[in-house]
């Protein structure tokens, strides 16, 4: 049984490599809830996930429920790798390297975190994680993403293409499974 106690190294890697292109070809930045967009410069904030359908000539989502910060290096990271927003940083930064995916109904660990990358082998499962602060923030993310009023079709705003791209449920699962950081499931 793999037991792991998370100790953040304050390396800043996760705050300086925010934009990722998945193997399914989607380029995405830092996940932001609607009430967190004001924390970032307006010109660097884009929609991230949308749902429903609006417009025939130019189909797009009827509702945006997640936004994203589109810069690779966060404007709030100091030279000493401290977060200027802490403790009021975005929810995704408070759960990281834990994330919650409604499609899987599970919390997962990201090997984008250098601590996790060095401590978890490919395909290894972690059965016991000690990360009280990060784990305490996951239910809030779970609650938001599971809230249920969202309806298909689903969309992502691609930072590279600068447009809405339809997202099928199958793509969502692939997007999670194929994410370059090779996520590790928690039981």
**Footprint on this chain of ligand SF4 (rule: CB under 6 A):** 8-15, 30, 74, 76-77, 83, 85, 89-90, 93, 96-97, 113-115
Residue 10 CB, nearest approach to ligand SF4 (Å): 5
30 vs 64, beta carbon nearer ligand SF4: 30
Q: Report which of 91, 71, 76, 89 is spatially closest to residue 12, judged by C-alpha positions.
A: 76
Cβ–Cβ < 8 Å for 172, 154: yes
Residue 6 CB, nearest approach to ligand SF4 (Å): 8
Q: What angle do CA 178, 14, 35 make, to 5 degrees?
A: 90
Residue 64 CB, nearest approach to ligand SF4 (Å): 20
Return the number of other C-beta atoms located less than 10 Å from residue 35's C-beta: 10
Question: What is the residue whose two structure tokens read 């830092």?
Answer: 30
55 vs 79, beta carbon nearer ligand SF4: 79
24 vs 72, beta carbon nearer ligand SF4: 72
3-state secondary structure of 14: helix
Residue 130 CB, nearest approach to ligand SF4 (Å): 14
């Amino acid at each position: 049984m793999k037991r792991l106690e998370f100790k953040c190294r304050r390396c800043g890697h996760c705050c300086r490599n925010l934009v990722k292109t998945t193997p399914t070809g989607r380029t995405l930045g830092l996940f932001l809830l609607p009430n967190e967009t004001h924390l970032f410069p307006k010109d660097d904030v884009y929609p991230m996930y949308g749902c429903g359908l609006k417009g025939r000539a130019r189909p797009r989502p009827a509702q945006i429920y997640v936004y994203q910060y589109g810069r690779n290096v966060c404007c709030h990271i100091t030279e000493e790798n401290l977060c200027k927003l802490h403790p009021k940083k975005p929810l995704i930064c408070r759960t990281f390297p834990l994330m919650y995916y409604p499609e899987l109904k599970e919390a997962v660990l990201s090997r984008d975190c250098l601590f996790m990358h060095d401590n978890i082998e490919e395909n290894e499962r972690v059965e016991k994680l000690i990360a009280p602060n990060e784990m305490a923030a996951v239910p809030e993310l779970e609650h938001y993403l599971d809230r249920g009023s969202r309806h298909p079709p689903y969309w992502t705003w691609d930072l590279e293409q600068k447009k809405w791209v339809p997202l099928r449920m199958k793509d969502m699962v692939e997007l999670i499974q194929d994410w370059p950081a090779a996520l590790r499931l928690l039981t």
